[in-house]
């Protein structure tokens, strides 16, 4: 496979001004006729017209009406190249494709009874011959022809301009999108879909029609997404001054989908799981996720569609910025501190390990084989953190000015992350040259902080040292610009006034580090304070300060910053689990520290804290974070230590968990509000601990809650708690009941599968049984994610000492390689921390990766990920 480098970027020799596309859907095949209006790019001397195209049978090609024969062009697996002597030309093609056999779910494919497309990143080349690269922006006219009974609804980007009947029971619809766009934003849908309508009036008074299309059995599940969409539209006007541009905005739900959703211009296509919701079938987390994804895709209309990426190395330009935007949206809609905590948990669980292993790459990568492999936590989540730091450094007003400038200056263009940063520099007058290392250097910086107090002079000194470990292809790193939001706590837990000559902004409480070592002197300090550092997680770094357990417990109780209170408890858990794990390994008697247990009791009983914050503070770090925190992973010891901490918390505070569970019972109808979701989450966690204490009354309570729950959050909490316990008869009874009741509801069946694959004590054999179940379908990514990815993330089971978990997942990767390489390649990442395990598992995981690499006909997707993992 060929590696593509950022340094080789060149504009194309020809632009496309307009494309006229006709897609004729037949029972056995689909014919695609396309006419491109081409314009020579004067900046490029070459006259090569390069058109990408794969998996298409050519019927006819023509240039300016003249048929082309094979000797007129060069063809390789991915493209066709011909010489075009004219500056203005028209290229035409008629090709044949077979969407019903397209299991890759890229290009045009069949999803249940409908046909739909997914073109990002390079799927358009599976539909027609085209310069399938994001810097080629054209207006599109799309005509779809299909059988009227089977496909009564025909959709494409933009506005409907024509429709009518054809012979033999067929009909057509023509759509025109007036906004020039890259091919990755093309979309079309043909199906028998039901539709729900609404409207949104923009702040300038334009009425926009909103439509959600779903398969008829899901018609009752769209209201929440519609409401979310309207909230997102209003928020983008209020916060960024961005109005929607077309008169129509459509969302379509598809059951077969590789990711969450896709921001195609005017026609977003969603994974059904990311759009369909009712209280009875979706839990609170799902509601929040749907609201965030609907908003994310909508926000792309400006950050991605109107202003797009010059090349795929710039992916974070649209994704990092849009994740930042959707995260702020959720913070504004719900609870800011809780949202920040959830985002940081995700970052630490997914992005930090990525940055700490063979898959590490910069936010703006330098090279790739398969761009689908770069839709990563680094490009998305770390990219969002980078934008957040710019926001922190320049402040909200200048950030808004910078984004206004960016949208105005680059509207209708394909640009780079440098262009984005340049706008922020221009409006703020701040030089962000050094800051841009966040885009080009991989790895998570470490910031080690030490302190010194001089009571004679009243000076308190903090010394910050930053370093960044080597990552693949990057041995040495230059220092980063690191904004550290901070405070100093006195003995009563109050913030001291800060006096310092350092680069500290009193309005934002942000200290900015630029050097490898920075000494900061605070004057007028009468007693040694406790520093509260990296408040709100102001930079994606690993900060280390040598707190005692008592100091962490003090911060957990007193810090004015909600995020740091949570983080102090997390450090206590982490320290306890890692310490006990090490003790176990050394054959020592492991004890749960009393500072931790006392802190847990005080949080559980602290009614000044919202239930949602209490849930976050009472939740232990997961294995992804624990594994990432040690040099060498000893699974048995980590598992034993984590279980011991849970057990101690559960048994010692059994009465607290019981009274919390009972006291937090819901009253009235389900409401998706931050307060209600918080209450349900704390009740769910309390029930889980209560059940872990082994109290029979907890099992009875859970069974009762399961049967009488009026919503899926409570029902799911009850079932998950039961699955975490030891009453196997009750587990079987409830699982059977669940399937019987909900087998016709796809979203519920997906939850049924994933609750089992992520339950404790599930083994590889159970997973094999689950894959034999009629509910499983290897061609459906949601089912694969529910069963296989769920199991692979179920650390206790996946890393079972026999290695059967590894074999099972490797076998699935081999099978998926030929069906859906994108999904197969994602599964490979599960093995990427193999080198950090103790020798036995390390050897098993390495040999599993080698087996995968030896798979015949390995796709470039899986090849790239496996090769990188093995390095
Ligand atoms: N921009 C989209 C990314 C994407 C994708 C979506 C669905 C299926 C395959 C895909 N490949 C890339 C989604 C987003 O970030 O908004
Ligand atoms: Zn996105």
Q: Which ligand is nearest to the CA of 254?
A: 1
Q: Which ligand is nearest to the CA of 187?
A: 1
The length of the chain is 871
CA atoms within 13 A on the CB side of 670: 19
Q: Which of 40, 18, 22, 38 is nearest to 30 (CA)?
A: 22
Average pLDDT over all residues of the chain: 98
Distance, CA 202 to ligand 2 centroid (Å)? 23
- Report ipTM for this prediction: 0.97
Task: Tell me the per-residue pLDDT of 750-773, one tens digit each, with 9 for 90 and over.
Answer: 999 999 999 998 999 999 999 999
Check pLDDT > 90 for residue 841.
yes
Distance, CA 174 to ligand 2 centroid (Å)? 27
Check pLDDT > 90 for residue 124.
yes
Task: Tell me the per-residue pLDDT of 467-479, one tens digit each, with 9 for 90 and over.
Answer: 999 999 999 999 9
Neighbour count for residue 700 (Cβ, 10 Å): 11
Nearest CA to ligand 1 atom 12: 120
Q: What is the reported pLDDT for 315?
A: 99
297 is catalytic: yes
Q: Is 326 in the pocket of ligand 1 (CB under 6 A)?
A: no
With a pLDDT cut of 90, the percent of the chain lying above it is 99
Q: Is 374 in the pocket of ligand 1 (CB under 6 A)?
A: no
Q: Which ligand is nearest to the CA of 781?
A: 1
Q: What is the reported pLDDT for 590?
A: 86
Q: What is the reported pLDDT for 781?
A: 98
87 SS3 class: coil
This prediction's pTM: 0.98
309 SS3 class: strand
Distance, CA 295 to ligand 2 centroid (Å)? 10
Residue 223 to residues 210, 233, 381, 409, 412: CA-CA distances in angstroms?
Answer: 12, 16, 28, 36, 32
Q: Which of 675, 633, 662 is nearest to 799 (CA)?
A: 633
Q: Is 106 in the pocket of ligand 1 (CB under 6 A)?
A: no
Distance, CA 62 to ligand 2 centroid (Å)? 36
For tokens 């749960």, name the residue: 592
Task: Tell me the per-residue pLDDT of 11-67, one tens digit each, with 9 for 90 and over.
Answer: 999 999 999 999 999 999 999 999 999 999 999 999 999 999 999 999 999 999 999
Q: What is the DSSP letter of 786?
A: I
Q: What is the DSSP letter of 493?
A: S
Nearest CA to ligand 1 atom 13: 262
Residue 829 to residues 3, 675, 692, 819, 869: CA-CA distances in angstroms?
Answer: 19, 36, 32, 18, 7
State the Cα–Cα distance between residues 494 and 330, nearest whole angstrom. 29
Nearest CA to ligand 1 atom 14: 262
With a pLDDT cut of 70, the percent of the chain lying above it is 100
Reading the block at residue 497, the tokens are 């006034």
Q: What is the reported pLDDT for 679?
A: 98
Probe residue for ligand 1, chosen from 262, 272, 322 as the CB with the greatest number of ligand atoms within 8 Å: 262
Which residues, chain by chain, have CB under 5 Å from ion ligand 2? 319, 322
Reading the block at residue 206, the tokens are 């334009």
Residue 709 to residues 312, 754, 828: CA-CA distances in angstroms?
Answer: 46, 20, 38
Reading the block at residue 87, the tokens are 């500056």
Q: What is the reported pLDDT for 309?
A: 99
Nearest CA to ligand 1 atom 7: 259
60-76 mean pLDDT: 97
Q: What is the reported pLDDT for 205?
A: 98
Distance, CA 185 to ligand 2 centroid (Å)? 12
230-250 mean pLDDT: 98
Q: Is 381 in the pocket of ligand 1 (CB under 6 A)?
A: no
Q: What is the DSSP letter of 379?
A: I
DSSP for 398-442, written as a single string: HHHHHHHHHHHHHTTEEE-HHHHHHHHHHHH----TTTTHHHH--
Probe residue for ligand 1, chosen from 103, 259, 321, 822 as the CB with the greatest number of ligand atoms within 8 Å: 259
Residue-range domains of the chain with CATH: 1-98+122-157+165-182 (2.60.40.1730), 337-356+363-440 (1.10.390.10), 446-539 (2.60.40.1840), 743-871 (1.25.50.10)
Query: What are residue 471's DSSP bridge partners?
Result: 474
Nearest CA to ligand 1 atom 11: 120
Cis peptide before 441 (omega within 30 of 0): no
Q: Is 297 in the pocket of ligand 1 (CB under 6 A)?
A: yes
Torsion of CA 143, 147, 152, 157, to 10 degrees: -20
Reading the block at residue 816, the tokens are 């998926």
Distance, CA 105 to ligand 1 centroid (Å)? 12
């Amino acid at each position: 496979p060929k590696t593509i480098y950022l340094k080789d970027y060149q504009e194309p020799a020809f632009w496309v001004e307009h494309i006229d596309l006709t897609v004729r859907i037949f029972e056995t095949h689909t014919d695609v006729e396309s006419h491109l209006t081409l314009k020579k790019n004067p900046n490029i001397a070459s006259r090569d017209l390069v058109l990408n195209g794969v998996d298409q049978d050519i019927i006819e090609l023509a240039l300016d009406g003249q048929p082309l024969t094979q000797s007129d062009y060069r063809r390789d697996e991915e493209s066709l190249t011909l010489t075009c002597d004219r500056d203005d030309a028209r290229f035409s093609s008629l090709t044949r494709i077979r969407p019903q056999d397209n299991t890759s779910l890229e290009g045009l494919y069949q999803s249940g009874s409908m046909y739909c497309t997914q073109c990002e990143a390079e799927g358009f080349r599976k539909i027609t011959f085209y310069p399938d690269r994001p810097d080629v922006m054209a207006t599109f006219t799309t005509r779809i022809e299909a059988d009227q009974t089977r496909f009564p609804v025909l959709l494409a980007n933009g506005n409907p301009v024509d429709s009518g009947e054809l012979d033999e029971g067929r009909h057509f619809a023509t759509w025109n999108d007036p906004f020039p766009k890259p091919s990755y934003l093309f979309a079309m849908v043909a199906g028998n879909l039901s539709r729900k309508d609404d409207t949104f009036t923009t702040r300038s008074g334009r009425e926009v029609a909103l439509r959600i299309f779903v398969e008829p059995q899901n018609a009752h599940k769209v209201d929440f997404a519609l409401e979310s969409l309207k909230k997102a539209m209003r928020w983008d006007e209020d916060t960024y001054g961005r109005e929607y541009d077309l008169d129509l905005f459509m969302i379509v739900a598809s059951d077969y989908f590789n990711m969450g959703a896709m921001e195609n211009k005017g026609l977003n296509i969603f994974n059904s799981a990311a759009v369909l919701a009712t209280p009875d079938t979706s839990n609170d987390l799902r509601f929040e996720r749907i609201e965030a994804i609907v908003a994310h895709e909508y926000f792309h209309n400006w950050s991605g569609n109107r202003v797009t990426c010059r090349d795929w190395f710039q992916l974070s330009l649209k994704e990092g910025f849009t994740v930042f935007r959707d995260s702020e949206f959720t913070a504004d809609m719900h609870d800011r501190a809780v949202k920040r905590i959830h985002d940081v948990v995700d970052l630490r669980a997914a992005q930090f390990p990525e940055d700490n292993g063979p898959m590490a790459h910069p936010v703006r990568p330098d090279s790739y084989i398969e761009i689908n492999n770069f839709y990563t936590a680094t490009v998305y989540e770390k990219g969002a953190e980078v934008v957040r730091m710019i926001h922190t450094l320049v402040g909200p007003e200048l950030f808004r000015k910078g984004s206004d400038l960016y949208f105005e200056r680059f509207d209708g263009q394909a640009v780079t992350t440098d262009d984005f940063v340049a706008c922020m520099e221009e409006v703020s007058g701040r030089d962000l040259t050094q800051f841009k290392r966040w885009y080009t250097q991989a790895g998570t910086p470490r910031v080690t902080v030490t302190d010194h107090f001089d009571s004679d002079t009243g000076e308190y000194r903090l010394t910050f040292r930053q370093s960044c470990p080597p990552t693949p292809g990057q041995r040495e790193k230059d220092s980063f610009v690191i904004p550290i939001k901070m405070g100093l706590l006195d003995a009563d837990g109050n913030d001291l006034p800060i006096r310092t000559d350092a680069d500290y902004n009193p309005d934002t409480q942000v200290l900015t580090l630029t050097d490898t070592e920075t000494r900061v002197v605070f004057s007028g300090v009468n007693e040694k304070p406790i520093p509260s550092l990296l408040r709100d997680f102001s930079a994606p770094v690993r900060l280390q300060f040598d707190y005692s357990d008592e100091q962490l417990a003090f911060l957990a109780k007193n810090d004015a910053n909600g995020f740091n209170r949570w983080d102090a408890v997390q450090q206590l858990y982490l320290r306890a689990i890692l310490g006990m794990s090490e003790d176990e390994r050394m054959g020592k008697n492991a004890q749960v520290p009393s500072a931790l247990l006392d802190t847990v009791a005080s949080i559980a009983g602290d009614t000044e804290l919202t239930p949602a914050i209490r849930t976050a503070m009472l939740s232990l770090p997961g294995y992804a974070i624990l594994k990432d925190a040690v040099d060498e992973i000893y699974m048995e010891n980590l598992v034993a230590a984590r279980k011991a901490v849970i057990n101690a918390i559960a048994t010692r505070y059994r009465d607290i968990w019981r009274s919390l569970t009972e006291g937090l019972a819901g009253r009235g109808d389900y409401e998706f509000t931050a307060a209600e979701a918080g209450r349900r989450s704390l009740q769910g966690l309390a029930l889980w601990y209560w059940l872990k204490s082994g109290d029979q009354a907890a099992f009875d309570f859970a069974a009762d809650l399961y049967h009488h729950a009026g919503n899926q959050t409570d029902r799911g909490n009850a079932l998950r708690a039961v699955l975490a316990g030891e009453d196997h008869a009750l587990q079987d009874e409830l699982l059977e009941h669940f399937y019987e009741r909900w087998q016709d509801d796809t979203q519920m069946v997906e939850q049924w599968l994933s609750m089992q694959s992520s339950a404790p004590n599930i083994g590889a054999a159970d997973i094999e049984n689950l894959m034999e179940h009629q509910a499983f379908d290897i061609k459906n990514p949601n089912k694969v994610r529910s069963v296989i990815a769920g199991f692979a993330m179920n650390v206790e089971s996946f890393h079972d000492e026999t290695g059967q978990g590894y074999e099972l997942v490797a076998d699935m990767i081999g099978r998926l390689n030929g069906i859906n390489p994108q999904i197969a390649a994602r599964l490979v990442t599960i093995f990427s921390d193999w080198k950090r395990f103790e020798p036995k598992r390390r050897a098993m995981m390495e040999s599993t990766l080698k087996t995968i690499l030896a798979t015949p006909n390995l796709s470039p997707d899986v090849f790239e990920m496996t090769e990188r993992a093995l390095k």
